[in-house]
Amino acid sequence: FAVALQSDGKIIVAGTHFVDFNPGDMSDTDFALARYNPDGSLDVSFGNGGTMTTDFLGAEDDVFSLLIQPDGKIVAVGSANSPFDFYDFAAARYLTNGTLDTTFGTGGKMRTDFGNNDMDIAYAAALQPDGKIVAAGTTVFDFGVQQQFALIRSNPNGTLDTTFGTGGLVLIDFGSF
């Protein structure tokens, strides 16, 4: 779960919407956002009656961090699972009304894979003064034998900043699991 405050006092909360839960099997979950007025009432002018869900590829999508840009756009960061390359870092950007910002990434969404069918999960994010987004988390690979700290930096438009690390990605091995 994540929470962020807008400059007008409205509250954005994000987490996971369970579309189809399958214990012991891959579930279908989506990014979920809701906006509340300063008095705690649901802001029905946001998204679809106060809430918004975003699906990446029909599998497990989870939000762990929220950013509010100076222009009021909302960036949700976490992970998206797919049958093709397992878990990837994922981000979605929303306009102030709660709809996807189609000028970001592909149709408002961005996925970043560190390779090797690994489990890449972004747990935290920060917005740089130049509008670039830094996301941090972990990548687990070699069937769980190795886990490294992982970073990406994206440009404001949702493309990887290739001047950062190797093609926009940084892996840090602290030498222990």
Report DSSP letters for 135-177, one per residue: EEEEEEETTTTEEEEEEEEE-TTSSB-TTTTBTTEEEE--S--
pTM, to two decimals:
0.91
What Å distances lie between residue 47 and 74, 80, 97, 159, CA to CA? 12, 21, 6, 25
pLDDT of the residue at 22: 63
Residue 60 CA to residue 56 CA, distance in Å, equals 8
The better pLDDT of the pair 61, 168 is held by 168
The better pLDDT of the pair 30, 93 is held by 93
Residue 51 CA to residue 27 CA, distance in Å, equals 21
86-116 per-position pLDDT tens digit = 889 999 999 999 999 999 999 999 999 988 7
Confidence category of residue 4, pLDDT binned at 50, 70, 90: very high
What b/e string do you get for 41-52 counting C-beta neighbours within 10 Å, with b at 16 or more? eebeebbeebbb
Q: State the chain's mean pLDDT as an integer.
A: 90
67-91 per-position pLDDT tens digit = 999 999 999 999 998 777 788 999 9
Quote the distance between the C-alpha of residue 91 and its chain's center.
3
pLDDT of the residue at 83: 74
